[in-house]
Amino acid sequence: MNASLLDEVLTRDVRQRLASPTAEGTALPNACYTSAAWLELERERLFARTWMLAGFCHDIPNPGDAHPVEVGGMPILLLRDDDGTVRAFHNVCRHRGAVMVDKPCSGRKVLTCPYHGWAYGLDGRLRTRPHFHGAGRHEVVGGNEASRAGLAPVRHAVWHDLIFVDIGGKAPDFADHWAPFARRTKDYDFGALRFAKTLTFDVKGNWKLIHENFFDPYHPPVVHPRLEVFAPIALRHETRDEGAWLYNTNGIAEPQDGRGVGMPYYPGLDETGRRTEWYFHLFPTLDFEIWPDQLAVFQLHPVAPNRTIEHIHLYFIGDGATAPAYEANRQAVYDMWAELNTEDFLIVENMQLARISPGFDGGVLSPYWDPAIQRFAQWMTEALSRP
């Protein structure tokens, strides 16, 4: 079924154009943005096989905190163990498969299944099974059985506040995966960041259109008049790629309210850093936007081929995140993002409507600005073609 879907969507002509120089190249064809079967394939072959942003340490600040999340459609549980360790499990009971934790909770010593009451420790090991051998004949579980029937752990990695999971367990080493970003951002003291707020948008568009728009430095002059004053196209650079990353950097012509005015900057940033913005896309899970006074983390939850919940998680430097003195400046940032991201999702929703048109076949691309759009399409087809 998958093979025929792939052949139907990625015809020989499409594959040839995907592999051509960008001037004769293409991005992904329409069905990739409209087909429910295609989204299923993405869940199976992409989201479950790579490092995905799952959640945040600030959601589980204390031992005994548990936070259910969904990653590529799968229920995952993030929790903080007694000794402060972050852990990740499949959020599903080993007995009959009930979802273990359906809302955030804290102060837990054990996790008790809502169906028959099996209780697990915060290390995932099974502890007790009530009435397991008949009425009143409870079982206290130990030894191998405690892990054999325990919650299934999920490979995970933590970068500052962000928690990533690799559901399939076979993705490359996280540090290697992360290295291209780490190398380019060594001047930024991310340890100084504090979480401030999450903005949420319900977008009537495919998740890929949102990412593709994110790393497209070509559209701001038309779509974002205010952003164009901040970082005009003359100071923008084409998007490049390394490893699983796409990135570009722009010069800041004029800091503005919500973008570089009134908030603390990253400590020790030199003059170039104070006049630079970075865009990073980590395929296929998230986008980072770095300005001198903030980090914006974009997280997408595909709900349907034509609907995505988009979160922008905003971090500021030190006191900038919480001090009352910066309240008005923080609000300026939230207002700026609401305006900027609305401009973006309106164009995404516009394109989604056109993805049923036979008048569009994946696109005619700019050789200067669009190689990254084509690269993203190549990565998608490589990932989905892997059995």
Look up residue 343 and give its two tokens.
């401009």
Span from 88-96, 133-141, 320-328, 341-349 in contact with ligand FES (CB under 6 A): 88-96
Applying CB under 6 A, among 46, 93, 332, 373 the residue interacting with ligand FES is: 93
Q: Are 361 and 29 in contact (CB under 8 A)?
A: yes
113 lies in the site for ligand FES, by CB under 6 A: yes
CA distance readout (Å), 249 to 216, 234, 239: 11, 12, 8
Span from 93-101, 155-163, 263-271, 360-368 in contact with ligand FES (CB under 6 A): 93-101
| Residue with Cβ nearer ligand FES (96 or 109) | 96
| Residue with Cβ nearer ligand FES (89 or 280) | 89
Q: Are 374 and 240 in contact (CB under 8 A)?
A: no
46 lies in the site for ligand FES, by CB under 6 A: no
Crossing angle between the packed helical segments 371-385 and 207-214, to the nearest 10 degrees: 140
- Sequence-separated (6 or more) residues with CB below 8 Å from residue 282: 51, 181, 244, 245, 288
CA distance readout (Å), 314 to 245, 291, 328, 333: 21, 11, 15, 9
Find residue 281's DSSP bridge partners: 246, 287
96 lies in the site for ligand FES, by CB under 6 A: yes
Binding mask 226-265 for ligand FES (x = CB under 6 A): ----------------------------------------
Q: How far is the CB of 293 from ligand FES (least distance, A)?
A: 47
126 lies in the site for ligand FES, by CB under 6 A: no
- Sequence-separated (6 or more) residues with CB below 8 Å from residue 175: none
CA gap 12, 10 in Å, rounded:
7
197 lies in the site for ligand FES, by CB under 6 A: no
Applying CB under 6 A, among 8, 110, 115, 148 the residue interacting with ligand FES is: 115
Applying CB under 5 A, among 59, 310, 344, 370 the residue interacting with Fe ion is: 344
Number of residues that bind ligand FES (CB under 6 A): 9
What is the CA angle 375-213-59, rounded to 5?
100
Residue ranges binding Fe ion (CB under 5 A): 344
Residue ranges binding ligand FES (CB under 6 A): 93, 95-96, 98, 113, 115-118
